[in-house]
Amino acid sequence: MSSLTRTTAWQALAGHHAHVVQTSLPQRFAADPERFSKFSLRACGILLDYSKNHLDHDAMSLLLALAQQAQLPAWIEKMFVGEPVNSSENRPALHSALRNRSDAPVMVAGRDVMPDVRRVLAQMRQFTTALRSGEWRGYSGKRITDVVNIGIGGSHMGPSMVCAALEPYASEPRVHFVSNVDGAHLATTLKTLNPETTLFIVSSKSFTTAETMANAHSARDWLLSTTKNPDHIARHFVAVSCNPQAVAHFGIAAENRFEFWDWVGGRYSLWSAIGLPIAVSIGMDHFEAMLDGAYEMDEHFRHTPLAQNMPVILGLLSVWYINFFDAQSFALLPYDQSLRLFADHIQQVSMESCGKSISRDGESVDYATEAVIWGGAGTNGQHSFYQLLHQGSPFIPADFIAALETHYPTGLHHAQLLANFIAQPEALMMGRVEEGLPAHQHFVGNRPSNAILFQKVTPRSLGALVALYEHKTYVQSVIWNINAFDQWGVELGKELAQVILSQLTAAGSEASAALPDRAGDTPPSPQHDSSTSALLEVCRAALIRP
């Protein structure tokens, strides 16, 4: 057994689980009409109703004891003050500094980083104001009408989710996103765009990310196929990167590079200059309102006692279900079309952060550290995967998310949406088993969920909501004693892809249509198994076919 599973708090929770499951959720509500008021929280304009969970007061007390045992309050403070909580890379994780709206300094290695943060925010404001006003023009003197963000992972998912969520605040130029190295993604995006009126944001911390740079070079070729003049790149490309040399080599002017720092993790970076496409779309005033909302959640998370702390409660519930109920997945179900990409973003935040099996102490863990995060917009999901939630065999806790108001004059539509938002958690909890009904129409119920409700999807409320899930993820990582801020697991596939790419590229350049003799071929990587080698041969044959 690991050091965690041997602890008193863990063992007490394991024992109490057997007691909790003896009482169903409908029985708990029948026994306590005040259950909602006892198991709900309000913070930062958000209501969290967690009453439909397999909890009693003893379970909640034991979960809070587990948090204290893990020294969660101390770990929260370590993150905010810039200690190297990213232990494998010896770095802080200071996404909170990016949205620090106070005058308080944030120190990294004895240096206050806030002047740099404010400098980049000012640079973003100057650029986006020029672009949105029409002052910034393309090489032919025409106004920029379209901006294409080229990035992947955290340089794509967060900004694209926010731009979709805050579309009611958007104005020209139109913002597009390209991430997939599949050339179809770039080609279909550029199909209706004009090189004279298109600007590209290339977002890569290292400016060497393979997929991003392949798309960036193709975008540059597309521009130069029209203008023929490399000097015009400076009017149509800007970069968000930590690598000024690589940016300059690409042809982007130094003043058009937006900096961010190695203490910003990619999946937590939408608050930095990685959020430049957000600022282009909605303007800097709204971008900074989003920072305000996130800062408010930061302050709540940092200073509120654990029992009333919304990210802490959500994080502890995840630990409760993953480790003691064997939950293999969680569903995120936003009842707002603008939040249709929210689950995709939080999937990366949570699964890339907590998808670890080695503790901070270098010990292999013997407990689960994360479940599959998935979901989609209601009510679409009700006609698709909700069947699994209601009558399937897996145990899948769910978060239902909704706004009381909509930006659009569709009162009847929104009332119907909210009716389903309320009805679905009730149906999951209550079920239906009636005499005379055939067995296939029975719903066992007793399935847990949270309801998260706020007034309206605004920059401020969205900032608070995203920060809520970021901090929830950190809570889980602290309990599990893992590093939430590295992602070494993504590296091996990248390395092998580069080996294979060199072989495929060499094959494609050969003049002969015949496959090269294996004896004279480039030796495969030691990691290639027989199936990999066979696939490689098929790909090579396709590339060198005349």
In this structure, what DSSP letter does residue 304 have?
Answer: S
364 - beta bridge partners?
A: 358
SS3 (DSSP) at 143: strand
In this structure, what DSSP letter does residue 523 have?
Answer: P
Catalytic site residue 383? yes
Beta strands of 83-183 (E only): which ranges?
Answer: 107-108, 111-112, 146-150, 174-178
Measured N-to-C along each axis, helices 8-20 and 310-324 cross at an angle, to the nearest 10 degrees, of 80
- Catalytic choice (352, 414, 471, 472): 352
In the chain, what is the greatest distance between 2 CA atoms, to the nearest angstrom? 80
Selection from 201, 186, 74 nearest residue 136 by Cα: 201
Long-range contacts (CB closer than 8 Å, 24 or more residues apart) made by 518-524: none
What whole-number distance in Å separates Cα of residue 457 and Cα of residue 165? Answer: 7
What whole-number distance in Å separates Cα of residue 153 and Cα of residue 186? Answer: 16
What whole-number distance in Å separates Cα of residue 387 and Cα of residue 27? Answer: 24
What whole-number distance in Å separates Cα of residue 220 and Cα of residue 250? Answer: 9
SS3 (DSSP) at 403: strand
In this structure, what DSSP letter does residue 516 have?
Answer: P
Q: Write down the pLDDT at residue 66.
A: 98
Beta strands of 446-538 (E only): which ranges?
Answer: 449-454
Selection from 59, 35, 543 nearest residue 325 by Cα: 59
Selection from 213, 237, 211, 47 nearest residue 131 by Cα: 237
Selection from 67, 104, 54, 27 nearest residue 308 by Cα: 67
- Catalytic choice (383, 434, 435, 491): 383
SS3 (DSSP) at 273: helix
Rounded mean pLDDT for each run of 10 residues along the chain, 546 residues in total: 86 97 97 96 97 97 98 98 95 97 95 97 98 96 98 96 98 97 96 97 93 96 95 96 95 95 94 98 98 98 98 98 98 97 97 96 94 95 95 97 90 90 95 90 94 97 98 98 92 82 70 38 50 74 62
Specify the residue for token string 């790149």.
233
Selection from 419, 450, 446 nearest residue 332 by Cα: 450
Taking phi first (over 0 means left), then psi (-120 to 50 degrees means alpha), and beta for anything else, what does residue 400 get?
Answer: beta
402 - beta bridge partners?
A: 335, 453
Q: Write down the pLDDT at residue 529.
A: 65
Q: Write down the pLDDT at residue 410.
A: 74
Using an 8 Å Cβ cutoff, are 327 and 321 in contact?
A: yes
- Catalytic choice (135, 255, 494, 510): 494
Specify the residue for token string 């901090």.
471
- How far is CA 224 from each of CA 217, 236, 263, rounded to the nearest angstrom? 10, 11, 35
Q: Write down the pLDDT at residue 508.
A: 60
Average pLDDT, the chain: 92
Catalytic site residue 57? no
What whole-number distance in Å separates Cα of residue 343 and Cα of residue 339? Answer: 8
Catalytic site residue 52? no
